[in-house]
Amino acid sequence: MSQTPPQSQKDASGRNVRVVFAVVALVSVLAGLLIYVFAVPLGFDEDLAEIIAIIFLLSAICDYAVLYFWDRIFKNRSR
């Protein structure tokens, strides 16, 4: 017998997941910035550092898009 969690637990869980996505987006932006700025001391070629920074930035943009469209993507399906 499976029970569905109360609505307040579902809301809290969704909020926690959104916080994780936001933190991952911020960490991605910071990681890309740090790799781009400190490419030479880290031993990266400048072109490679730029590519890695762009990838981190794109990852952050995707995380932000998930946050922005969260309610449209994950509608309440408890019918």
Q: Give the model confidence (pLDDT) of 46-56 as tens digits.
A: 999 999 999 99
8 lies in some domain: no
How many whole angstroms separate alpha carbon 45 and alpha carbon 8? 50
- Residue indicated by tokens 């399906």: 77
pLDDT, one tens digit per residue, over 24-76 is 999 999 999 999 999 999 999 999 999 999 999 999 999 999 999 988 887 76
Tokens of 73: 């993507």
CB within 8 A of 23, min separation 6: which ones? none
User: Residue 13 domain-assigned?
Assistant: no
Res 45: pLDDT: 93
pTM here? 0.75
Structural domain boundaries enclosing 49: 25-73
pLDDT of residue 4: 60
Dihedral angle of Cα 64, 66, 67, 69, to the nearest 10 degrees: 120
Number of domains comprising the chain: 1
